[in-house]
């Protein structure tokens, strides 16, 4: 239940922020929040992370749906996983669905956070990135420790 709430909050925040930008800004318009450091810049990304796979919408939609199904099955079948693992998968799911919604409705993903030294990104991208880092921490440090000491601890809540 907690993970469903986190999922809904992340997905909702992502969609609300994107809607506000899409309806109140012109494409490529940039609003400085901290001049030359952080801007809100409206761009449309037809690719994946860092604008790779530009124009491959059908592939990206199919991949998103496949990943969504796999992660959802893992979450449902293994409810007693680690809090970190469940949180990471929830964040990846929320971000992936947020960007999938954009691809299905617009044919592109709305990006807006512009740090000027990094590709422009959105809330969904942030959720995916944090989720992947948490997943790596779990796999490297927690799952690895569980295997190394032969314990059956699942580090769950």
Chain-centre distance for alpha carbon 47: 15
Active site annotation includes 102 = no
Length of the chain in terms of residues written = 157
Structural contact between residues 97 and 150, judged by C-beta atoms closer than 8 angstroms: no
- Please pick, among 14, 111, 114, 149, the residue that the annotation labels catalytic: 111
Q: Is 125 a catalytic residue?
A: yes
Give every strand in the sheet of 30-34, ordered side by side: 30-34, 38-45, 109-114
Catalytic residue among 14, 102, 114, 125: 125
Burial of 151 (0-12, 13-18, 19+ CB in 10 A): exposed
Residues 6+ apart with CB under 8 A from 141: none
**End-to-end alpha-carbon separation of the chain, Å?**
13
What are the beta bridge partners of residue 44?
110
Q: Vertex 25, ends 19 and 26: CA angle to 5°? A: 120
Catalytic residues: 111, 125
């Amino acid at each position: 239940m907690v993970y469903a709430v986190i999922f809904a909050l992340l997905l909702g925040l992502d969609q609300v922020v994107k809607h506000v930008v899409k309806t109140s800004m012109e494409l490529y318009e940039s609003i400085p929040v901290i001049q030359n450091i952080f801007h809100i810049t409206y761009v449309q990304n037809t690719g994946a992370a860092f604008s790779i796979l530009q124009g491959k919408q059908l592939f990206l939609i199919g991949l998103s749906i496949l990943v969504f199904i796999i992660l959802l099955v893992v979450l449902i079948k293994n409810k007693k996983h680690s809090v970190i693992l469940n949180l990471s998968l929830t964040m990846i799911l929320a971000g992936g669905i947020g960007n999938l919604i954009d691809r299905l409705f617009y044919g592109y993903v709305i990006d807006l956070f512009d740090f000027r030294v990094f590709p422009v990104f959105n809330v969904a991208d942030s959720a995916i990135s944090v989720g992947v880092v948490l997943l790596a921490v779990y796999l490297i440090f927690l799952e690895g420790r569980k295997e190394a000491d032969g314990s059956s601890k699942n580090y769950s809540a």
